[in-house]
């Protein structure tokens, strides 16, 4: 989530991080590639299922689109209204793009997907970095090689500066896209297993579901489904839906 974590949610119930990622995955699988129009429809549908867990930037964009405003105009308007749109909501949902694409389309679609709700280009750069790592990890690259390739392809100086020197900064689960991306990448590179990485992400506090989702995407891409503890999967809300989306995305990416 882009705002503070919600309390009182039962174990295994996911928030907008997973809801939006499922919308992206289902859109890529159904359209056999990126479609801004289809993604927006699916993101709106996900939003209406549980609007209370959405952060302020995405929620405001979705509400205005639902009111009839043109989506691209809404994104610019919300950016000006808030004075910024650097929150992490557009980064957390993007990893399905890295699963689907392998070449330059990873960066292009990551930036376009981020722009559906967040106008600031730093969001697209953070999403592209994370999704590039996911893309390479799912295709067999070791974690350090995937990280190095993401660095080489990053064109945003602020994102590049912080992630290139990730060891010099303590991970902070902040609402800012760059801070959240740094925390996820840092915890992933320092960790040695899926469980260790996820536990570390949750225990740093702050916007833990978002950093957990991002770090978990990297860890899952690296270590695979068998690395996820069965005791966690057993409690996951909507497991058949999640697995169905994952398999459809995987199948579509191979066509």
Please write the tens of the pLDDT for every residue from 141-164: 999 999 999 999 999 999 999 999
Structure confidence by residue, pLDDT tens digits, 89-108: 999 999 999 999 999 999 99
Helix axes 16-31, 239-253, angle to 10 degrees: 40
Burial letters 55-82, b for 16+ CB under 10 A, else e: bebbbbbbbbbeeeeebeebbebbbeee
- How does pLDDT run along the chain (255 residues), one tens digit per residue? 443 344 556 777 788 999 999 999 999 999 999 999 999 999 999 999 999 889 899 999 999 999 999 999 999 999 999 999 999 999 999 999 999 999 999 999 999 999 999 999 999 999 999 999 999 999 999 999 999 999 999 999 999 999 999 999 999 988 999 999 999 999 999 999 999 999 999 999 888 889 999 999 999 999 999 999 999 998 898 899 999 999 999 999 998
Helix axes 194-203, 208-223, angle to 10 degrees: 170
The CATH homologous superfamily for domain 16-253 is: ADP-ribosylation/Crystallin J1 (1.10.4080.10)
| In the chain, domain spans | 16-253
């Amino acid at each position: 989530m882009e705002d503070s974590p919600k309390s009182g949610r039962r174990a295994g119930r996911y928030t907008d991080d997973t809801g939006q990622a499922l919308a992206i995955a289902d859109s890529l699988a159904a359209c056999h590639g990126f479609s801004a129009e289809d993604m927006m429809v699916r993101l709106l549908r996900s939003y209406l299922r549980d609007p209370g867990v959405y952060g302020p930037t995405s929620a405001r964009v979705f509400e205005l689109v639902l009111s009839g405003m043109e989506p691209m105009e809404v994104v610019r308007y919300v950016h000006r209204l808030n004075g910024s749109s650097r929150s992490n909501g557009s980064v957390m949902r993007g990893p399905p793009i890295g699963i689907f694409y392998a070449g330059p389309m990873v960066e292009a679609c990551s930036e376009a997907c981020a722009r559906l709700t967040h106008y600031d280009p730093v969001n697209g750069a953070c999403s592209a970095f994370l999704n590039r790592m996911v893309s390479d990890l799912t295709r067999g690259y070791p974690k350090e090689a995937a990280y190095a390739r993401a660095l080489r392809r990053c064109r945003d100086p602020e994102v590049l500066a912080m992630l290139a020197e990730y060891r010099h900064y303590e991970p902070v689960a902040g609402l800012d896209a760059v801070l959240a991306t740094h925390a996820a990448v840092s915890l992933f590179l320092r960790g040695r297993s899926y469980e260790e990485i996820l536990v570390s992400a949750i225990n740093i506090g702050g916007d833990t579901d978002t950093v957990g989702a991002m770090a978990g995407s990297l860890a899952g891409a690296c270590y695979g489904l068998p690395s996820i503890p069965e005791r966690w999967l057993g409690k996951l809300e909507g497991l058949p839906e999640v697995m169905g989306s994952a398999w459809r995305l995987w199948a579509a990416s191979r066509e």
